[in-house]
Amino acid sequence: MNKAADLIGRVARSASLKAALTGAIGYFLLAATTIRLTSDGRNHATVWPADAIILALLLVSPRRRWPIIILAGWAGNFAANGITRGWMIGLLLYGAINMAQTALAAVLLQRSNSGKELLADTRSSLHFLLSAGILGPALGAFLGSLASLANYGEAFGPSFIRWFASNALGLLIVTPVLKGLLDGSYLRCYIERSWVGRLEALGLHGVHIALTAAVFDQNTMELLFLPICSLLLLSFRLGRLGTQAGVIMIALIGGVATYRGLGPVHLMHQTADFDAIFFQVYLGTLLCTALPVAASVSANTEALTRLAERDEALSLILSNSPDAIISFDAAGVCRWAAGRLEDYLGAGADDLLGATLPEIAERTGMSVPFLTGAASGDERATAEFSPARRSQMTLEASIGLVRRDGARLGSIVTLRDVSARKAKEAAISRMAETDDLTGALNRKGFRHRLDEAVKDASRQVSLALIDVDHFKSINDTFGHTVGDRVLQEVVARIKAITRNTDAVARLGGDEFAILFDGDMAIAQSVCERLTASFGNLPVFEQHNVSLHASISCGIAELHPNMSKGHFFEAADIALYDAKHQGRGCVRAAA
């Protein structure tokens, strides 16, 4: 543990020392160069980018390193001012003011949570503009102008404007680029791009540099608008990182050219101070033009990236999901499909894309009314169907509306295989309607079939009621075990002689029923053969026991406007006649 702690401590001290050296040396070089090029040694520089390196270091470093970074920047400021302006104790005050305005900007950015990604979106751009472009420089301009008044006798008003403009421009222009270099954003952007993308970025920056150099290397034409065009191109193609680099290029090339007396700024034939202020306004215009565009492009790019990530995640989820999804637009045209489409429908996404609702219904087996009608309601609708190409399956389709601001944008159909559930439900239903001794329908199941038959006026239906003759004596003589075997044999013989469309039921005890899908003639023919089979063959044989039995049948035919009760009563009266006319026979209702 002690060794690990020592290693962590050495790494932290090394990182702090590296940050301090970077701040001190970088500040000194930028400050000294800027003072030499844009100041007469007494007034403030035209552009002051040195504070940007300290602000960038503060934004990429933990709070515990801030004191040493600020001290390093203070030292770099003192050295640069001393060498270029002459050594005096008042220079320490300038360094303190510069570090105060930089620290204020860093604190404000960190509190607003905009320091991690400068210019990432409109919100972070506004926070950056307010913190580094207004509040921080305003504090420094106020204190710095007081110091210049005391040290050099500089007028407060012009000094304030020059300090504020130079520091605000320096922080706004240079900080994002330096932060991007320090936190690795530019390196990551380069690595993540393809070779074509890298060549495009280099080419666009090269064109921008060449165009900016051409504009500022002549004194004949007012072409200050041209760098804005190439800068906007960088914004649209490369986003905020490209915009930041593009503004830096204009500031460097234009600043050097303006200092040398070249470029469109000198066509106005004003004083050097006026040229410097005008160039500041020009750079400010570039920032106000390019920053919103870069923020918008970055936000859109990130939104598209998140959308692509979500689309990939959704595709991954659907590929491992039991669902399939079909999306329709407001006109009823399939615009998107994914999931287990091939397994469920026998058709892939490519077969469905661009197809209309009726075409989808024809290809899949879903009903057109479900797709077109259910989607127009406010409630979520469901339906079950067997796909045209997967008839052995049962799918559940759920359809819901996609709305925005009350307007219907389309609908989404979700498909799920419910074949196992339907089979289980059918098995449970069969168990609930099946006699557990004989396997025939029980009274509940038979009543359900009888209700359906009576409701369908187009069907010809006949009913046979059957009793086993003298069944009580069989139970009393041979026991209930033998009696149960007899009942099972009765059902077996009934099923052997009836069709799959006929319903066979045990109503209770030794009472049975057959619901025939046909007229009286069919029922009478089947029942006569059935009674004859009992006269020929024993219903139970075991060891020396050979048991014969007979059955009595009463049949009736369903007539128009006949109720279920009358239908059943007619067959029951016929059965009563059969029992009282010798048993072992068939009687039809009159």
| CB half-sphere exposure, 8, CA atoms < 13 A | 5
Question: Given this model, what pLDDT does residue 446 score?
Answer: 92
pLDDT of 148 > 50? The answer is yes
Task: Tell me how many degrees the CA angle 326-332-334 measures, rounded to the nearest 5.
Answer: 35
In this prediction, residue 243 has a pLDDT band, given cuts at 50, 70 and 90, of: confident
pLDDT at 43 over 80: no
Average pLDDT over residues 239-263: 81
pLDDT in tens, 90-146: 778 888 998 999 999 999 998 888 767 776 667 777 888 888 888 999 998 898 888
Using pLDDT thresholds of 50, 70 and 90, give the confidence band for residue 273. low
Interval 524-550 mean pLDDT = 87
| Surface-to-core class of residue 19, CB atoms within 10 Å of its CB (0-12 exposed, 13-18 middle, 19+ buried) | buried
Average of per-residue pLDDT across 53-80: 90
Question: First CA to last CA across the chain, in angstroms?
Answer: 104
Strand-pair partners of 356? 333
d(CA 335, CA 350): 10
> How far is the C-alpha of 138 from the C-alpha of 92, rounded, in Å?
19
Question: What are φ and ψ of residue 144, in 5° steps?
Answer: -65, -35
pLDDT at residue 502, rounded to an integer: 92
Of the pLDDT bands very low, low, confident and very high (cuts 50, 70, 90), residue 68 is very high
pLDDT at 166 over 60: yes
Task: Write down the pLDDT at residue 523.
Answer: 93
Rounded to an integer, what distance in angstroms lies between the CA atom of residue 100 and that of residue 382?
A: 66
- What's residue 1's pLDDT? 47
Q: Are 492 and 440 in contact (CB under 8 A)?
A: no
Q: Report the pLDDT value the prediction gives residue 8, as an integer from 0 to 100.
A: 47
∠393-397-399 over CA atoms, to 5°? 170
| Higher-pLDDT residue of 385, 483 | 483
Residue 223: its pLDDT value, please?
Answer: 85
The answer to whether 451 touches 429, Cβ cutoff 8 Å, is no
pLDDT value for 183: 85
The amino acid occupying position 517 is: D
pLDDT, tens digit, 9 for 90 and up, residues 555-569 = 999 988 888 889 999
Written as one string, the DSSP assignment of 416-480 is: EE-HHHHHHHHHHHHHHTB-TTTSSB-HHHHHHHHHHHHH-TTS--EEEEEEETTHHHHHHHH-H
502: Cβ–Cβ under 8 A, 6 or more apart, which residues? Answer: 514, 515, 516, 517
Query: pTM score > 0.75 for this model?
Result: no
Tell me how far apart the alpha carbons of residues 222 and 459 are, in angstroms, rounded to a whole number. Answer: 96
CA 460 to chain centre: 57
Q: Which one is predicted more confidently, 78 or 290?
A: 78
Q: Are 198 and 190 in contact (CB under 8 A)?
A: yes
* 208 in Cβ contact with 227 (< 8 Å): yes
Q: Name which of 403, 431, 409 is nearest 332 in CA terms.
A: 409
Phi then psi dihedrals of residue 219, to 5 deg? -125, 30
Quick: pLDDT tens for 320-348.
Answer: 777 888 888 878 888 888 888 888 888 88
Q: Is the pLDDT of residue 234 over 50?
A: yes
d(C-alpha 163, C-alpha 152), whole Å: 14
Q: Do domains 318-421 and 433-588 have the same CATH topology?
A: no
pLDDT at 380 over 70: no
Which region among 36-45, 48-57, 407-416, 483-492 has the lowest average model confidence (pLDDT)? 36-45
DSSP H/E element including 483:
helix 480-497
Q: Residue 518: how many CB atoms within 10 A of its CB?
A: 17
Distance CA 321, CA 343 (A): 12
Contact status, residue 130 vs residue 291, Cβ threshold 8 Å:
no
Q: Partners of 516 in the beta sheet?
A: 462
pLDDT at 374: 46
**In the predicted model, what is the mean pLDDT of residues 143-166?**
81
* Predicted pLDDT of residue 315: 73
SS3 195: helix
Q: What would the two tokens of residue 63 be? A: 């709070």
The CATH fold assigned to 318-421 is Beta-Lactamase (3.30.450)
Instruction: Tell me the average pLDDT across 380-399.
Output: 80
Percent residues over pLDDT 70 in the chain: 92
Measure the CA–CA gap between 330 and 425, rounded to whole angstroms: 36
- What is the identity of the amino acid at 203? G
Task: Check whether 375 has a pLDDT greater than 50.
Answer: no
Three-state SS sequence of 149-184: HHHHCCCHHHHHHHHHHHHHHHHHHHHHHHHHHHCC
| pLDDT of residue 472 exceeding 80 | yes
Spatial CA neighbour of 128 closest among 163, 175, 164: 175
Does residue 510 carry a catalytic annotation? Answer: yes
Q: What is the Cα–Cα distance from 174 to 167, expressed in whole angstroms? A: 10
The residue type of 444 is: K
Q: For the chain, what percent of residues have pLDDT higher than 90? A: 21
* Coil vs helix vs strand at 503: strand
- Give the range among 14-18, 186-190, 379-383, 562-566 with minimum mean pLDDT: 379-383
CATH architecture of the domain with range 433-588: 2-Layer Sandwich (3.30)
Greater model confidence, 8 or 122: 122
Within 10 A of 116 (CB to CB), how many other CB atoms are there? 13
Q: Where are the domains of the chain?
A: 1-183, 185-305, 318-421, 433-588
* pLDDT (0 to 100) of residue 386: 81
The one-character DSSP state at 208 is H
Residue 169 predicted with pLDDT over 50: yes
Q: Which of 128-132, 199-203, 337-341, 417-421 has the highest mean pLDDT?
A: 199-203
pLDDT confidence of 180, banded at 50, 70, 90?
Answer: confident
Mean pLDDT over the full length of the chain = 83
Find the range with the poorest average confidence among 68-82, 259-273, 452-466, 516-530: 259-273
Among 7-11, 298-302, 565-569, which is the least confidently predicted range?
7-11
Phi, psi of 439 (to 5 degrees): 85, 0
User: What pLDDT does residue 31 have?
Assistant: 85
Given the residues 510, 519, 572, 577, select the one marked as catalytic: 510
